[in-house]
Amino acid sequence: MSADAGADARGDTRDDAASGELVLVTGGSGYVGTHVISGLLRSGHRVRTTVRTHGPTTSAAAGVRSAVAASGVDPGGRLDIVSADLTTDDGWDDAMAGCAHVHHVASPFPSVQPDNADELIVPARDGTLRVLRAARDQGVKRVVMTSSFAAVGYSHKDGAEYDESDWTDPEDDNPPYIRSKTIAELAAWDFVAKEGDGLELTVLNPTGIFGPALGPRLSASTEHIRAMLEGEMSAVPRAHFGMVDVRDVAELHLQAMTHPAAAGQRFLASGDRTVSLLWIARVLAEHLGERAARVPTREFDDERAREAVGVTERVPILRTEKARSVFGWTPRDPVTTILDTAESLFRLGLVKS
């Protein structure tokens, strides 16, 4: 089955020698996946992407096609959609066949944290191992995996500075999503070290991902902006966190795919400043006028509310010099990211303007 997909990554990050190679993107109908696909297509690659086998697969394929149209990329015959699910081995060897590189983007992210942590941990860990095992068996050169700051900065440490050397302790009493991302990444590194047989792994650890949506499937972060604009939040929890633009995450994926210095490395991805939910609301109000008339104007202190959105009250200091020095990566200004997010929600009809 063929389809098209894409997004907006700045600049031409392609390696000319690799241009035209077949690349697999897992979870291609998702928020990050559509942007990664778009960047690859813009760079001249052929792309194969997976959608889940359970549920309306044809609807997922249509969503990818719609994202292509929104991104302005014409893939021609360079994009295929196949069925594969993180919870089963079926389809993964076929999905990997002939692929030079893999971007493992798919991972469960619930709107509500489950009572049973294994509902998230097991598919995140086992799905990652399925992807890596099939990649190894099919001769893939490198897997670039989207992990999260959740795997970096949610265990106690002296001070508030974080970089790639930091790890969340998977045994700590964190919400299931945070534990799932940590356990999945640890399992990935362990697999490559013990069973990888030469397979290369690069991991990206983004903070809160914002930026324009190409379709109705939103990240948890962009869902907060939608809720603010729709007046569904009368106040926001007091919390501070890093922000990174989804287009900048996609750019890192493309650069990490072929850069010699990226093999075996983690890269923390975040913008130039730490933000808060109230700061986001104020940016919306300042720049969007009447369209942001319903955004919250106050915050409250509630530990359970912070836990629900996966943030803390402490103001983190995020060191991203590694991505900047290795790739020459320069993230977008967070105000631009927030406003582009909002405009995409209006354009898609997800918020009434």
pLDDT at 308: 54
> Contact, 267 vs 321, CB < 8 A?
no
Kindly indicate the confidence band of residue 11, based on its pLDDT and cuts at 50, 70 and 90. very low
Q: How far apart are CA 34 and CA 63, in angstroms?
A: 9
Give 184's contacts (C-beta < 8 A, 6+ positions apart): 107, 121, 124, 125, 127, 128, 147, 151
pLDDT in tens, 212-223: 999 988 888 999
Spatial distance between the Cα atoms of 135 and 142, rounded to a whole number of angstroms:
8
CA distance 205 to 107: 13
Among residues 349, 351, 353, 352, the alpha carbon closest in space to that of 66 is found at: 349
| Helices marked H in the chain | 31-42, 57-71, 92-96, 118-137, 176-195, 220-229, 246-258, 277-288, 303-309, 321-327, 334-347
352 is catalytic: no
Residue 71 is predicted with a pLDDT of 85
The pLDDT tens digits for 287-301 are 999 999 999 999 988
- Confidence band of 310 (pLDDT split at 50, 70, 90): low
| CA separation for the pair 88, 86 (Å, rounded) | 6
Rounded to an integer, what distance in angstroms lies between the CA atom of residue 247 and that of residue 211? Answer: 7
The model carries a pTM of: 0.90
How would you class 38 by CB atoms within 10 Å of its CB: exposed for 0-12, middle for 13-18, buried for 19 or more?
buried
Residues sharing a CB contact under 8 Å with residue 331, sequence separation 6 or more, in sequence order: 244, 245, 248, 269, 270, 271, 272, 320
When the candidates are 3.40.50.300, 3.20.20.70, 3.90.1170.50, 3.40.50.720, the CATH number that belongs to 22-347 is 3.40.50.720
Q: How confident is the model at residue 352 (pLDDT cuts 50, 70, 90)?
A: confident
Spatial contact of 111 and 174, defined as CB atoms under 8 Å apart: no
Of 141, 157, 181, 194, the active-site residue reads: 181
Q: Which helix (H) or strand (E) holds 81?
A: strand 79-83
Cα end-to-end distance, the chain, whole Å: 36
**Ramachandran angles phi, psi of 195, nearest 5°:** -130, 5
CA atoms in the 13 A half-sphere facing the CB of 332: 26
Q: What is the pLDDT of residue 122?
A: 87
The full set of domain ranges for the chain reads: 22-347
Tell me the C-alpha distance between 34 and 212, whole Å: 11
